């Protein structure tokens, strides 16, 4: 199994948490081996990985190439490797969205990955798979991502809810191995609108979407009020929640899973994970960054890539259907 690890913005904590996470990966079961990782970043960061991991430079960072451009070039190279089948998964350290945008790229990883991979659709799933003590996994899918709150209501329509729920359900079945995933749709309005008192989206958008999802190989419940859906899901009643917009989903998820959360991009032809935090410029270079989320991103990338590879191997060994 091969992983590509991009270092994100070279001025942030990405290079530090990547180095710490890979060091921790050497103690995984099975361990992460040096010849199975390709670290991609600006040449100034090479010293943090020399002698331990294969480093592929994409140009200068603080001393040469613009940091946003360096981060973007690393992502581009990782995607090229994944599409060529040279790596099974990409793990990306945090980028600075304004820096990416100023360098001419999409302002976020998810949008950029979708555009450069040619994926017809993509989704942002936040995951905490548990700490091994029996706690329920926490998974939150964001139906909309980086848009202003004022645009959310118009953006959350039947087609979006159906497509994002199907994208989530298919991933939970294929990559997570859940035969019949239990998915909750988080309502848009307070109290799921209380029969239209606080909005009509639950009646006009959610109910038709849920009807369209009937017969799919997953169980959909909703619309469930936002003030209860996450505690129900995080207690094990649901396998995942589809949140209508960024902050309602991220606030609940990070409150429950900060430091362990992993962002998984669904819908791509390869596995991609990243930590649940940003560049943290304020502590960069001090050696104090917590690598826990990056460790989990590497661990989950290995697990999902392994599951996908096993599924492909199993399919290739299946007997051919008889010709009629």
Please tell me whether residues 143 and 230 are part of one structural domain. Answer: yes
- Residue 152 near residue 226 (C-beta atoms within 8 A): no
- Residue 239 near residue 137 (C-beta atoms within 8 A): yes
Range(s) of the domain holding residue 90? 1-119+288-324
Compute the distance between CA of residue 31 and CA of residue 34 in angstroms, rounded to an integer.
10
Compute the distance between CA of residue 235 and CA of residue 237 in angstroms, rounded to an integer.
6
Please tell me whether residues 199 and 261 are part of one structural domain. Answer: yes
Residue 284 structure tokens: 């960069």
Q: Rounded to a whole number, what is the distance in angstroms from the first to the last CA of the chain?
A: 38
274 located within any domain: no
Please tell me whether residues 151 and 262 are part of one structural domain. Answer: yes
Please tell me whether residues 105 and 222 are part of one structural domain. Answer: no
- Residue 161 near residue 206 (C-beta atoms within 8 A): yes
Please tell me whether residues 314 and 212 are part of one structural domain. Answer: no
Domain CATH number, residue 175: 3.40.718.10
Please tell me whether residues 73 and 41 are part of one structural domain. Answer: yes
Please tell me whether residues 256 and 157 are part of one structural domain. Answer: yes
Q: Which residues pair with 128 in a beta bridge?
A: 138
Task: Give the sign of the dihedral formed by CA 28, CA 33, CA 38, CA 39.
Answer: positive
Question: Considering its fold, how many domains does the chain have in total?
Answer: 2
Using CB atoms within 10 Å of the CB of residue 215, give its burial: 0 to 12 exposed, 13 to 18 middle, 19+ buried: exposed
68 located within any domain: yes
Task: Spell out the per-residue pLDDT of the chain, length 324, in tens.
Answer: 899 999 999 999 999 999 999 999 888 888 888 889 999 999 888 888 877 899 999 876 454 668 899 999 999 999 999 999 999 999 999 999 999 999 999 877 888 899 999 999 999 999 999 877 778 999 999 999 889 999 999 999 999 999 999 999 999 999 999 999 999 999 999 999 998 899 999 999 999 999 999 999 999 999 999 999 999 999 999 999 999 999 999 999 999 999 899 999 999 999 999 999 999 999 999 999 999 999 999 999 999 999 988 877 665 555 544 433
């Amino acid at each position: 199994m091969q992983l590509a690890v991009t270092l994100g913005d070279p001025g942030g904590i990405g290079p530090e948490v990547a180095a710490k996470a890979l060091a921790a990966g050497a103690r995984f079961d099975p361990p992460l081996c040096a010849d199975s990782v390709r670290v991609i970043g600006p040449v100034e960061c090479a010293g943090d990985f020399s002698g331990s991991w294969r480093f592929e430079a994409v140009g200068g960072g603080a001393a040469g190439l613009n940091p946003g451009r360096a981060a973007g070039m690393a992502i581009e190279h990782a995607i090229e490797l994944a599409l060529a089948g040279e790596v099974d998964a990409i793990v990306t350290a945090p980028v600075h969205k304004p820096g990416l945008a100023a360098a001419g790229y999409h302002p976020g990883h998810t949008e950029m990955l979708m555009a450069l991979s040619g994926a017809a659709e993509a989704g942002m799933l936040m995951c905490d798979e548990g700490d091994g003590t029996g706690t329920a996994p926490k998974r939150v899918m964001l139906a909309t991502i980086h848009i202003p709150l004022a645009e959310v209501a118009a953006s959350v329509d039947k087609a979006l809810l159906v497509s994002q729920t199907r994208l989530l359900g298919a991933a939970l079945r294929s990559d997570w191995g859940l035969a019949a995933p239990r998915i909750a749709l988080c309502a848009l309005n307070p109290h799921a609108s209380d029969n239209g008192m606080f909005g009509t989206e639950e009646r006009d958008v959610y109910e038709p979407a849920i009807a369209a999802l009937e017969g799919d190989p997953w169980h959909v419940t909703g619309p469930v009020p936002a003030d209860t859906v996450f505690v129900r899901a995080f207690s094990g009643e649901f396998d995942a929640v589809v949140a209508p917009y960024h902050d309602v989903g991220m606030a609940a998820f990070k409150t429950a899973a900060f430091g362990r959360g992993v962002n998984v991009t669904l819908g791509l032809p390869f596995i991609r994970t990243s930590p649940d935090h940003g560049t943290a410029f304020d502590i960069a270079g001090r050696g104090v960054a917590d690598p826990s989320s990056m460790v989990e991103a590497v661990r989950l990338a290995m697990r999902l890539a392994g599951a996908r590879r096993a599924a492909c191997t199993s399919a290739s060994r299946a007997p051919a259907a008889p010709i009629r």
